Structure 1
């Protein structure tokens, strides 16, 4: 996996207006089928990780637990543990990069 390219794409998706951040907004978009990919910080609380991964699994939204809060926060310039990608193109490219 090319971590830096993936983090750069997360930041780019924010600037393109195709990303939401924070637990409440991401949960809402997962329920409404707007989120195409969700990133949850691996150092988030167990309760938060379980809630997000269970919700993503139920609504068939892929998720990623590979990054820390610090990495996600640095990529988007805000202190966040959870971000959701709302664009199919960004999500597809990010999934390809995470498999490499």
Structure 2
């Protein structure tokens, strides 16, 4: 399993642990309440969606990442395509960040 696959499996683990929000409303609520510790927006999301989350995450100091497309995000949590997900557990968010650190194309905003 490579680091990219490992990262996606950690997102599934976060969901099973009840430590992942998905969808616009749930993620935005988690960002505003400062329970979101790491947000993923699909790299194939609309420019408006990317800007919305970039601005909101920047304001609240939440790390934001565009490493995966909507199919990968959805598949990782066993659901249909997802544009946005947020990890809400400190330990899991650190695991995800470490596994992503090995990707040259990945950056946290």
Q: TM-score range by the shorter chain?
A: over 0.9
Q: How does 1:52-91 map to 2 (within 5 A)?
A: 52-79=53-80, 80-91=82-93
**1:20 and 2:47 matched:** no
What residue is the counterpart of 2:106 in the other structure?
Answer: none
Distance 1:23 1:53 in 2: 13
Cα offset for 1:16? Answer: 0.7
Tell me what 2:97 maps to. 95
Aligned residue in 2 for 1:36? 37
Structure 1 vs Structure 2 CA RMSD: 1.0
4+ residue runs of structure 1 moved beyond 2 angstroms?
none
TM-score normalized by the length of structure 2: 0.88
Instruction: State the partner residue of 1:2.
Output: 3
Number of corresponding residues: 100
Gaps of 5+ in 1: none
TM-score (normalizing by structure 1): 0.96
Q: 1:31 Cα deviation (Å)? A: 0.7
State the alpha-carbon separation in 1 of the partners of residues 22 and 56 from structure 2: 16
TM-superposed CA distance for 1:32, in Å, is 0.6
Q: Where is the helix percentage greater, Structure 1 or Structure 2?
A: 1
Deviations 1:32-62 (A, max 9, x none): 1000000100000000011011100110000
Q: Partners of 1:45 and 1:24 in 2: how far apart?
A: 16
